[in-house]
Structure 1
Amino acid sequence: MNSELPATGADQVGIPVVALDRHGLRLYHEGDAYYDALHADLAQAQQEIRWECYILASDEVGMPLLQTLMARSRAGCRVQLRIDAFGSHDVFDERLQQALTDSGIELSWCRRWSWRQPLTYHRRNHRKLVVIDQRCFYLGGYNLHRESSRRSVGEKRWRDTHLRVSGALVEDATRAFEAYGSPRRWWRRWRQRRTDLGYLLPNLGLRRRFLLYRLYRRRINAARQRVWVTTPYFVPPTPLQRVLVKAAKRGVDVRVLVPRRIDIELVQWASRAAYARLLRGGVRVFEYLPRMLHAKVLQVDADWATVGTANMDYRSLFINDELVLVLREPDACAALADQFVADLELAEEVNGSGWSRRPWLAWLAELIGWWARRWL
């Protein structure tokens, strides 16, 4: 395991890029490092680029990547671009659509609004997956927008986690991308490939919608030493709260790391509504102070972790289309643990006794958020 790009900045703790050469794995904790690596891989693509994203902004971060996509398409590379219609509706300049399609890019929008099927609009494609030439894939929490770039917004850029993987799992990433339009047929022939690094877990289709939820409950129930949760939107369903408390009461080190301020205030109200129960049960809650924390990582003991697109909330566990990489490789899990400890240095622990004395307006806001939790 080795590091790249030395850390800089007053609020930077940890390593922007961690490389595990044995598995071709790289973990990115800085947006600019991820964007630069992705741009370099896209520019070298010769055959195929498959890309799906939740937020793709036509700004100083997104436009150079889109221009590279168009250049590769004109050079004969097949480019498939799938964008979520809700996530990108106010940040993607739709005048670009013609230029993209004119270059040969196969552009599709996930679940546009339809009066005929209004309920499908509620289920979003939240996956951020790029597969390049059957050579490598990228997966994680980073969207393509200026908010995650230090070069664009400085010290207030979002803190996130993304990974790059090469090797046997690239084929599974390709199949996960191709399955989006026909999940039922795909699952009939799906055989989960388990490698030394880990395996990919999508939740496509109604039959597989609860896969992540069941996996999280099972792994937390089996935890022996620690359960460390990093998530921007923490609205766990009541059974999952019980599992976290149960683990804490049997002596497991259970810690939850969330941002102090997030971009959706109602979600924060719902998140804080769960604090009291967890704190009473021995779960330690920390709020990350410097900036928006958008990483989605679950760590159980020293040899199991997930990195991907799923938050620990109702939308990711029961509604949205998500994709995570389940890691079983010790060095990868150790690198994630190191980053978690580094993030805690910039966080403040929520005090249980102080939390019970918060103003009544805060109680009311949390009650409203909890009522709305299933739709956030």
Structure 2
Amino acid sequence: MRASVETATNDRLRSVGGILGATYPDGGDDSIQLFTEGDDLHEAMIAAIENAKESIRLEVFIFAADEVGWRFARALSAKARAGVDVRFHFDARGAATGYSAHLFQEMVKAGVKLKWYRPWSWRHPTRYFQRNHRKLLVIDEQRLFLGGFNIRRENSRALCGDGRQRDAHVSIKGELAREAAAVFDQTWKHPDRYTVEVISADGAESDRPKSPRPTYLGWKGMARLYADVIGRSRRSVYITTPYFCPGGIVEQAMREAAKRGMDVRLLVPRDSDPPFVGWLTRSAYSSLMAAGIRIYEYVSPPRGKLHAKTAVIDDDWCVIGSANLDHLSLFVNHELVLVARNGRLAKALRDQYSEDLLEAVEVQPKVWAERSWTERSLEALGWVGRKLL
């Protein structure tokens, strides 16, 4: 059954350049589970690793040599010694955060297969700017975890208290785990190849265009995905992102939805890291509010730093994964997001969104118009940065 990125329908299971999608029936089953706290996620992932029988595939941007990282390293090493095929693909730049040669050497000795994604090369320095930003764990091709959490203590409330970094992750059982394994294998075997795949509901593959370098269509796949989902809205669009600089196609979709009368809201952290990213984000405030979009700034602490990357459309469709709404995630990095039509998951994300708004301050157009010239100057720099990107 042939399909294209633009015409893939709601009922198809699809993997499009790092986009996994499915229609899940609502009900009481445990096929899909949402995590918004790192401690809960870590416990579930460790338990899944310890129960693995045949294979473990792990991709993560940051894998720190702290209490959390060492716990995962020991669990992975134990399964490798037991004969399980354990493959760990980690990003060379992300691994520099809390890096420990000893930790990785211990895993290699145990039989874990490790691969660095794009370490620095003087021969190909520009390649270093494309990173593998995915966070993916696949167990026995039967269960997957994906989302925005890295593996480090900063995500643990038990270790860092209320100041921990919050994100969002999902666990899914079933067919989609096999598709996620295929996405992992593609990058594992061909890290420099970008593939666009469309999988039909019955699992039959359509044409799989491949190229030795990312094609223009492939680059725009993630941005088009967000624009398409937002364009489907009939009531509301609620977006959470730590960085907001998506470019014209996504911002235009948001403005058009607001002008159609949809309740469009954007939730971002008030304090960005690094600060320059905040200037990029705020340089879009005026045009977004002029279109009718409501903007909220999350104030942290006491509830922790907000780093979630989610979207909820009409309490029906939702997007969750590793991709920030910025140029790097949408057009450069390897990312992985889930697009699901599932009322229970959408409601859970909507409820979390409502809780987060209690700790946020809405940006009022009149107050915004009276901001200082210092702030305006910084936003002007951000505006130039957006145009350069």
Contact 1:49 1:80 in 2 (8 A): yes
Contact 1:20 1:26 in 2 (8 A): no
Offset from partner CA, 1:13-38 (integer Å, 9 cap, x none): xxxxxx97525111001110001111
Question: What residue number does 1:337 align with?
Answer: 350
Question: What residue number does 1:349 align with?
Answer: 362
The SS at the match of 2:29 is: helix
Offset from partner CA, 1:29-55 (integer Å, 9 cap, x none): 111000111111111112111001001
Written as runs of structure 1 = structure 2, the 5 A alignment for 1:196-215 is 205-206=214-215, 207-215=217-225
Flag the 1:186–1:205 CA change in 2: closer, same or farther, 3 A: closer
Written as runs of structure 1 = structure 2, the 5 A alignment for 1:259-274 is 259-274=269-284
Contact 1:56 1:145 in 2 (8 A): yes
Contact 2:315 2:346 in 1 (8 A): yes
Where does structure 1 lack aligned partners over 5 or more consecutive residues?
1-18, 196-202
Offset from partner CA, 1:79-110 (integer Å, 9 cap, x none): 10111111121312123232221111111111
Question: What residue number does 1:77 align with?
Answer: 84
**Which amino acid is 1:299 matched to?**
V
Question: What residue number does 1:304 align with?
Answer: 317
Offset from partner CA, 1:254-301 (integer Å, 9 cap, x none): 000111213221111111111111112110001111332111111222
Question: d(CA) in 1 for partners of 2:72 and 2:28?
Answer: 26
Question: d(CA) in 1 for partners of 2:35 and 2:151?
Answer: 14
Contact 2:242 2:269 in 1 (8 A): yes
Flag the 1:302–1:153 CA change in 2: closer, same or farther, 3 A: same
Question: d(CA) in 2 for partners of 1:295 and 1:194?
Answer: 29
The SS at the match of 1:52 is: strand
Question: What residue number does 1:323 align with?
Answer: 336
Question: d(CA) in 2 for partners of 1:369 and 1:62?
Answer: 35
Question: d(CA) in 2 for partners of 1:20 and 1:370?
Answer: 45
Flag the 1:185–1:271 CA change in 2: closer, same or farther, 3 A: closer
Where does structure 2 lack aligned partners over 5 or more consecutive residues?
1-25, 203-209
Contact 1:233 1:311 in 2 (8 A): yes
Contact 2:117 2:191 in 1 (8 A): no
Shift of 1:223: 1.7
Shift of 1:240: 2.5
> Normalised by the size of structure 2, how large is the TM-score?
0.85
The answer as to 2:54 corresponding to 1:54 is: no
CA RMSD in angstroms comes to 2.2
Question: d(CA) in 1 for partners of 2:335 and 2:142?
Answer: 22
Shift of 1:239: 3.6
Shift of 1:121: 0.6
Question: d(CA) in 2 for partners of 1:194 and 1:335?
Answer: 25
Written as runs of structure 1 = structure 2, the 5 A alignment for 1:12-91 is 21-91=28-98
Shift of 1:322: 0.7
Flag the 1:370–1:292 CA change in 2: closer, same or farther, 3 A: farther
Flag the 1:96–1:274 CA change in 2: closer, same or farther, 3 A: same
**Which amino acid is 2:380 matched to?**
L
1:220 to 222, 230, 236: 230
> Normalised by the size of structure 1, how large is the TM-score?
0.88
